[in-house]
């Protein structure tokens, strides 16, 4: 049953940050219930990272998105409809968040956006741990390699190595091989035994499992070497990468290449939830601090909701369900009737997919960055802080907290605000102090979470 939403000056102003699968489905749900939401997204077009659209798409949707092309097109169509019927603000970044208001930047202009209810669907980025040579030209993230293929229909290489762990590793390697790149090897840090033990949970979603097995089988059938339980030691080269050094089966091996795409799983984008003082908990499987939320997506802060990979890595399908369910919670909290039957159906589907996600976490455990990281390795690229500097400070001052390490070494003070270096620094500090990563705490969020030109600061619109 549905009732008319409140209107007038006291009507809720519902804002969705992010136009990926979670954000698009959330905004759709609000529109269906008579609420015209504001959608804010950094990209010019909807789809998020997983279904990213280029300004001038090249190739067919099937070529860009593989098995997921129909789902991608559905999200794109829904996003196009939102651009017409909602207050859609593409190409707009949120650089600060406070209770009741967001600070935005678009085309060099700043603006403020008030809200009564806020849904954060901020997505995820690559989790990359530092290793020797990772700052060399020719070293990319898995997500970066995939974006180049989706947006520009181009590949890095021609000879490319894929390294790290997680489902994205095999997907991008497969996409590159299909696009004509010479994939030299796939180096998975996860042991094969863990993937076998995870099979009962993975069988809960046979269709998804079949896709993953297809990618692996296709790569092997086309002569791409796939190795498990690999330690990525270094990217090598004079001025640019020309080879990868890795330990395979206990033996060091050099693999010639022109490019390396690497990613140690994904990490949730949680900065806005942090600025809003949402409570966080440490997730051992994802080796990260994640904002606390209930089953309906409510955070610990009234009026703030969380959905999708920005609240914990779950994948695109789970993100769509979580986005709709969080939007239903927003509506219910505003006094707008929603279908309890629909909420229950979403909960059942989420539970099945969550089991599959736990299987993936078991199959592809995330590695740490501890004793194997040489002192000369750059951990924080923005501030040029090396592992040796961190170890010296940690030992000299008995540091057991990332924020104290930040104060003494400037790690995490650069343009990325710790998004790229926090995971590696936490792992390294934990190893140095003989403690668990959860004991290291997390870097406190600071605005601006997106780089701003100082000349912009006097242009805030009121």
Query: 3-state class of 365 per DSSP?
Result: coil
Note the pLDDT of residue 1. Answer: 32
Unique residue bearing structure tokens 């369900």: 321
Under DSSP, the state recorded for 242 is: -
Length of the chain: 462
Rounded Cα distance between 320 and 323, Å, is: 5
Element (H, E) at 403: helix 402-409
Could you tell me if 331 and 45 are in contact, meaning their C-beta atoms sit under 8 angstroms apart? no
Alpha-carbon dihedral angle through residues 387, 389, 391, 395, given to the nearest 10 degrees: 180
CA dihedral 408, 413, 414, 417 (to 10 degrees): 140
| Block residue for tokens 């006291």 | 10
Q: Dihedral, CA atoms, 281, 285, 287, 293, nearest 10 degrees? A: -30
d(CA 453, CA 64): 34
Per-residue tokens: 237: 């080269």
Strands (E), 175-303: 182-188, 226-227, 231-236, 243-248, 251-256, 259-264, 266-268, 280-283, 288-291
**432 phi/psi in degrees, rounded to 5:** -65, -40
Displacement of CA 25 from its chain's centroid (Å): 18
Task: Point out which residues pair with 112 in neighbouring strands.
Answer: 103
Residue where the block lists tokens 């907290």? 401
**Which residues, 6 or more positions from 118, have their beta carbon under 8 angstroms from its beta carbon?**
14, 15, 17, 97, 102, 276, 303, 304, 305
What does residue 136 show for φ and ψ, rounded to 5 degrees?
-65, 145
Residue 102 β-bridge partners = 97, 113
Listing from the earlier edge strand, what are the strands of the sheet with 117-120? 87-89, 38-40, 14-17, 117-120, 304-306
Strand partners, 38: 15, 87
pLDDT by position in tens, the chain (length 462): 343 444 555 667 999 999 999 999 999 999 999 999 999 999 999 999 888 887 776 677 777 788 888 999 999 999 999 999 999 999 999 999 999 999 999 998 999 999 999 999 999 999 989 999 999 999 999 999 998 888 777 889 899 999 999 999 999 999 999 989 999 999 999 998 888 899 999 999 999 999 999 999 999 999 999 999 999 999 999 999 999 999 998 999 999 999 999 999 999 999 999 999 999 999 999 999 999 999 999 999 999 999 999 999 999 999 999 999 999 999 999 999 999 999 999 999 999 999 999 999 999 998 876 656 899 999 999 999 999 999 999 999 999 999 999 999 999 998 888 888 999 999 999 999 999 999 999 998 889 998 888 777 665 554
Segments in 47-141 forming alpha helices (H): 61-65, 69-85
Q: What is the pLDDT of residues 28-65, one digit of tens each?
A: 999 999 999 999 999 999 999 888 887 776 677 777 78
d(CA 453, CA 95): 12
Q: DSSP 3-state helix, strand, coil percentages of the chain (rounded to 5)? A: 40, 20, 40
């Amino acid at each position: 049953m549905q009732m008319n939403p409140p209107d007038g000056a006291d009507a809720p102003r519902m804002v969705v940050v992010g136009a990926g699968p979670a954000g698009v489905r959330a905004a759709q749900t609000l529109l269906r219930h008579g609420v015209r939401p504001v959608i804010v997204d950094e990209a010019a077009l909807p789809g998020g990272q997983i279904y990213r659209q280029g300004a001038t798409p090249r190739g067919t949707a099937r070529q860009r998105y593989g098995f997921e092309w129909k789902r991608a097109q559905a999200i794109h169509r829904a996003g196009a409809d939102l651009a017409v019927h909602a207050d859609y603000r593409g190409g707009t970044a949120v650089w600060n968040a406070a209770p009741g208001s967001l600070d935005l930047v678009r085309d060099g202009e700043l603006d403020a956006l008030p809200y009564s209810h806020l849904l954060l669907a901020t997505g995820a980025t690559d989790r990359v741990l530092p290793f020797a040579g990772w700052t060399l030209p020719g070293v990319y993230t898995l997500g970066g390699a995939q974006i180049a293929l989706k947006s520009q229909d181009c590949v890095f290489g021609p000879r490319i190595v894929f390294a790290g762990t997680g489902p994205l590793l095999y997907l991008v390697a497969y996409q590159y091989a299909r696009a004509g790149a010479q994939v030299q090897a796939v180096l998975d840090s996860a042991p094969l035994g863990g993937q076998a033990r995870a099979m009962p949970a993975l069988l809960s979603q046979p269709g998804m499992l079949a896709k993953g097995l297809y990618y692996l089988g296709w790569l092997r059938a086309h002569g791409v070497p796939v190795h498990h339980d690999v330690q990525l030691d270094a990217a090598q080269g004079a001025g640019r990468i020309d080879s990868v050094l890795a330990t395979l089966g206990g033996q060091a091996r050099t693999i010639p290449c022109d490019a390396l795409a690497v990613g140690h799983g994904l990490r949730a984008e949680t900065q806005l939830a942090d600025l809003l003082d949402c409570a966080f908990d440490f997730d051992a499987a994802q080796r990260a601090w994640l904002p606390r939320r209930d089953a309906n997506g409510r955070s610990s802060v009234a009026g703030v909701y969380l959905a999708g990979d920005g609240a914990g890595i779950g994948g695109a399908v789970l993100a769509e369900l979580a986005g709709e369910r969080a939007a239903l919670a927003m509506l219910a909290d505003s006094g707008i009737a929603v279908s309890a039957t629909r909420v229950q159906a979403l909960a059942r589907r989420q539970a099945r997919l969550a089991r599959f996600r736990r299987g993936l976490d078991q199959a592809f455990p995330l590695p740490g960055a501890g004793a194997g990281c040489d002192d000369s390795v750059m951990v924080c690229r923005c501030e040029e802080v090396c592992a040796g500097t961190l170890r010296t400070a940690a030992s000299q001052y008995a540091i057991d907290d990332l924020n104290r390490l930040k104060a003494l070494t400037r790690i995490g003070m650069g343009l990325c605000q710790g998004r790229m270096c926090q995971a590696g620094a936490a792992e390294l500090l934990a190893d140095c102090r003989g403690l668990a990563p959860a004991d290291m705490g997390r870097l406190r969020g600071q605005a601006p979470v997106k780089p701003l030109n100082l000349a912009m600061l006097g242009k805030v619109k009121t």
